[in-house]
């Protein structure tokens, strides 16, 4: 190539940046940031900001009553299989068919189901095996403590249903009612006239309650306040001693005291909507009673329009109603008949005053009335004088041509 100068340029390697230099720059940057943060904190912050300057009292969460917990021993636990497994059927031997996602049987259709294994039918005398509550050890069907009066422990399976407050009495699928299942069998009359005694107000005073349960004859009917704590345990003890049981429904009276225990659940003359809810609450407190009785009620029981729905619900629950006769309620018998509710009326209060002589006089009047008519009921309270007087009076009935009978025998 003439006249031209050929320049050749050779590629030279550029030096890479120094790693030490970059590392030093990063370290300097972080140092500046940290120093700036420390300076701002020292100059602007206050070291006393995190100091505890006082306390705040926080009330502990209230615990539920022991009888509403699984650890409580005073309430029957719910029957978790009720409505899903028939009575007297072993749930472990019910085999359900295998089905696919579309609901079609999988495998041999003829073997898809098997008949549930039916257990032997349990009679009243054997129903302790399906009931909760204290067990009575027996030999050849007789209690080992020598008493033959113990009633079947409650609850009996199939005699309850769910309410907003728990299980309440109900007629079973076979037609058995709590009245027929929990009442005490009527003793043989042998030509004698029956007379009945109800001792009420139990559960409020534990000592007098135990005295009534343990000392009174088994044919004396016991009535418990529905709001009493540990109600189921006391009913279990009463039935183990042979006593049939009522629960008392508090009802509005002329001298109604809203601060009295149980008054917040009372059945009132001008609150029909709340009455049905309160009745569910009262009936859910325990199981094992054959019926109910009134506590006061001279205002409520004279209002047929508000009393009738309560009586209807009691009839639908398979219970009986024993009116103590302490207040005027002339339409109550007709209302009960209309509702097809088994009903009985007390003849008189045997202890209008807490004096032994007066109680003995009233018991004599009761015996005279019973000699002329059947189904006579005297009603008293858990006073020491009443318990002692009834105990002595009952021991002399045979010589008067009378026999002590449970109050349920007077229901019509």
Classified as helix, coil or strand, 89 is: strand
Classified as helix, coil or strand, 135 is: coil
Q: Is residue 311 predicted with pLDDT exceeding 50?
A: yes
More confident residue, 37 or 373: 373
Q: Is residue 111 predicted with pLDDT exceeding 70?
A: no
What whole-number distance in Å separates Cα of residue 246 and Cα of residue 182?
10
In the block, tokens 């209002």 appear at 303
* pLDDT band, very low/low/confident/very high, at 136 (cuts 50, 70, 90): very low
Per-residue pLDDT reduced to its tens digit, 53-76: 666 666 676 665 554 455 544 445
Q: What is the pLDDT of residue 7?
A: 52
Is the Cβ–Cβ distance between 290 and 318 less than 8 Å? no
Is the Cβ–Cβ distance between 387 and 211 less than 8 Å? yes
Domain ranges of the chain: 177-410
Q: Is residue 97 predicted with pLDDT exceeding 50?
A: no
Q: Is the peptide bond before 155 cis (omega within 30 degrees of 0)?
A: yes
Q: Is residue 36 predicted with pLDDT exceeding 70?
A: yes
Taking the domain 177-410, which CATH number applies?
3.20.20.370
What whole-number distance in Å separates Cα of residue 21 and Cα of residue 23?
6
Across 178-182, average pLDDT: 98
Q: What is the pLDDT of residue 33?
A: 86
More confident residue, 186 or 47: 186
What's the sign of the alpha-carbon dihedral 248, 394, 237, 229? Answer: positive
Q: What is the pLDDT of residue 303?
A: 94
What's the sign of the alpha-carbon dihedral 300, 303, 307, 309? Answer: negative
What's the sign of the alpha-carbon dihedral 334, 335, 336, 338? Answer: positive
DSSP β-ladder status, 142-143 and 138-139:
antiparallel
Mean pLDDT of the chain: 82
What whole-number distance in Å separates Cα of residue 62 and Cα of residue 357?
48
């Amino acid at each position: 190539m003439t006249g031209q100068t050929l320049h050749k340029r050779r590629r030279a390697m550029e030096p890479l940046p120094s790693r030490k230099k970059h590392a030093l720059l990063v370290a300097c940057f972080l140092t500046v940031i940290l120093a700036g943060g420390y300076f701002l904190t020292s100059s602007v912050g206050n070291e006393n900001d995190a100091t505890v300057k006082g306390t705040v009292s926080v009330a502990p969460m209230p615990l539920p009553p022991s009888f509403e917990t699984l650890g409580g021993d005073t309430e029957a636990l719910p029957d978790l299989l009720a409505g899903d497994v028939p009575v007297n059927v072993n749930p472990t031997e019910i085999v359900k068919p295998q089905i696919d996602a579309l609901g079609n049987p999988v495998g041999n259709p003829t073997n898809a189901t098997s008949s549930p294994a039916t257990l032997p039918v349990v009679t009243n005398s054997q129903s302790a095996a399906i009931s909760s509550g204290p067990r009575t050890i027996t030999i050849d069907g007789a209690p080992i403590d020598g008493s033959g009066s113990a009633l079947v422990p409650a609850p009996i399976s199939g005699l309850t249903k769910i309410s907003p407050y728990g299980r309440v009495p109900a007629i079973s699928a076979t037609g058995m009612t709590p009245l027929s299942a929990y009442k005490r069998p009527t003793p043989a009359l042998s030509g004698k006239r029956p007379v009945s005694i109800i001792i009420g107000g139990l559960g409020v005073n534990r000592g007098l309650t135990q005295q009534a349960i343990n000392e009174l004859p088994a044919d004396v009917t016991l009535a418990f306040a529905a709001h009493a704590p540990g109600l189921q345990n006391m009913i279990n003890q009463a039935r183990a001693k042979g006593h049939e049981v009522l629960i008392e429904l508090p009802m509005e009276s002329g001298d109604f005291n809203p601060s009295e225990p149980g008054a917040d659940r009372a059945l009132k003359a001008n609150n029909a909507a709340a009455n049905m809810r309160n009745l569910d609450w009262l009936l859910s407190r325990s199981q094992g009673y054959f019926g109910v009785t009134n506590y006061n009620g001279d205002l409520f029981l004279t209002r047929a329009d508000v009393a009738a729905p309560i009586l209807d619900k009691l009839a639908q629950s398979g219970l009986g109603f024993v009116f103590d006769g302490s207040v005027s309620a002339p339409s109550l018998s007709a209302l009960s008949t209309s509702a097809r509710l088994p009903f009985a009326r007390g003849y008189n209060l045997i202890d209008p005053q807490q004096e032994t002589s007066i109680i003995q006089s009233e018991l004599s009047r009761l015996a005279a009335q019973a000699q002329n008519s059947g189904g006579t009921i005297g009603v008293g309270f858990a006073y020491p004088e009443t318990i002692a007087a009834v105990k002595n009076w009952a021991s002399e009935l045979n010589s008067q041509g009378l026999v002590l009978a449970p109050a349920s025998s007077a229901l019509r």
